[in-house]
Amino acid sequence: MENGGLTLLWSLMLQQPPLALAVVLTLGVAFVNGWTDAPNAITAAVSSGALSFRRAALLAAGCSLLGSLLVTGLHAGVARTISSIAVFPAEPHTALTALSAAMAAVILWGTAAWLWGLPTSESHALISALSGAALALGSGPEVLNPWAWGRVLAGLLLSTGVGFGAARLLWTFLPAAGRKRQYRRLQILSAAVMSVLHGAQDGQKFMGVLLLCLSLALGQGGVPSFHLTPGIALLCAVTMGLGVCLGGKRIVHTIGIRLVQVDLRQGAAADLAGICCLAAATALGLPVSTTHTKTAAIWGAGTAGRTQGADRGTLSRLWLAWLLTLPCCALLGWLLTVLMTSLI
């Protein structure tokens, strides 16, 4: 399966309609990720005035593409973790139907979050929906991979706790005045680097799902053993980029204006903290949420040096959305799998 690229994927899609459906829905999740997750990479730059949304979105789309391409040809840890989060114990047709149900669950959840302007994590939605769909096939909790779930939880701690603390710490070391031009340039550069890391991190997740689709279609059912290829990386990156350009403004408004307004210094601290967390997680192969990482960093930097904290109403809505993502997406994945497999 070392040649598991776009040509093989396309040829199998023509032969197996369930695979075609699973691939289309996976790309739909990548597009929704552009709506609700990728905009976090540019939130600080837009809210501080360093970049307009249009320029920042184009920058994010291009750099996300670059990040996705950088991880091709590798046995990437994030993709491997996502593709092994659960086993689908069924023949190919049923397994691919369950995988399609998981992707449909993520799309429904992500679209609802976007309508409310809430930056939920597609990463956690993806992981929990895959788990719920696998459990719906009736083989019990042993279908879940504790090693992969442990890495997910480690990434969650890194993205939130370290992101918040690092942003506040970095703010204290950055000069307070007379650096507007330098901070503006730093934020543009940071937005570009964050977007590259988002492509390398989240792009791997969707590549991992597409490789899982191939593995199930070939009747192998286990963790994919082939490399990430440029064709699959390009497909995922372009789809995510379209989502950023067409729908990310609501999320930028929620985090960069309603949660807490950041100035250039605070935006720079948030960006640098986010870069450190995403770079460390990607190097360690830990799947983390760009949403959690950047929101925690903006929260930490935006409240540094202020007596007034973040907007409580917005913050409570964010926490509620984050807490509900795992159980709700698992339940949605389970319900849709039961429904869709009963119809085949």
Tokens 């459906």 — which residue? 21
Identify the pLDDT of residue 100. Answer: 96
- Do 158 and 288 touch, CB atoms closer than 8 A? yes
Tell me how far apart the alpha carbons of residues 281 and 232 are, in angstroms, rounded to a whole number: 22
Report percent pLDDT > 90 for the chain.
17
**Angle 153-233-87 from CA coordinates, rounded to 5°:** 45
pLDDT at residue 250, as a whole number? 64
The whole-number pLDDT of residue 3 equals 44
Angle at 99 between CA 286 and CA 18, to 5 degrees: 140
Task: Note the pLDDT of residue 221.
Answer: 60
Answer for the pair 285, 80: CB distance below 8 angstroms, yes or no. yes
| pLDDT tens track for 113-144 | 777 766 677 788 999 999 999 999 987 888 99
User: Closest Cα partner for 273 from 285, 281, 261?
Assistant: 281
pLDDT at 2: 43
| pLDDT at residue 307, rounded to an integer | 47
The closest alpha carbon to 230, from 63, 11, 69, 7, belongs to 69
Q: Using an 8 Å Cβ cutoff, are 72 and 279 in contact?
A: no
Q: Which two tokens stand for residue 88?
A: 């689908």
pTM of the model: 0.85
Q: Which two tokens stand for residue 138?
A: 């009736």
d(CA 335, CA 158): 31
d(CA 85, CA 76) in angstroms, rounded, equals: 15
Q: Which candidate, 119, 146, 143, 147, places its Cα nearest to that of 133?
A: 143
Task: Give the model confidence (pLDDT) of 205-227 as tens digits.
Answer: 898 899 889 888 887 765 565 56
How crowded is residue 90: how many other Cβ atoms within 10 Å of its Cβ? Answer: 18
| Type of residue at 47 | S
Q: Let me know if 237 is exposed, middle or buried by CB neighbors in 10 A (0-12, 13-18, 19+).
A: buried
Which pLDDT score is estimated for 215? Answer: 86
What pLDDT does residue 199 have?
83
Q: How far apart are CA 17 and CA 303, in angstroms?
A: 51
Predicted local distance difference test score (pLDDT) of residue 20 = 94
Say what percent of the chain tops pLDDT 70. Answer: 84
Q: Which residues of the chain have pLDDT under 70?
A: 1-4, 37-39, 73-76, 117-119, 177-178, 221-227, 247-261, 305-315
Predicted local distance difference test score (pLDDT) of residue 211: 85
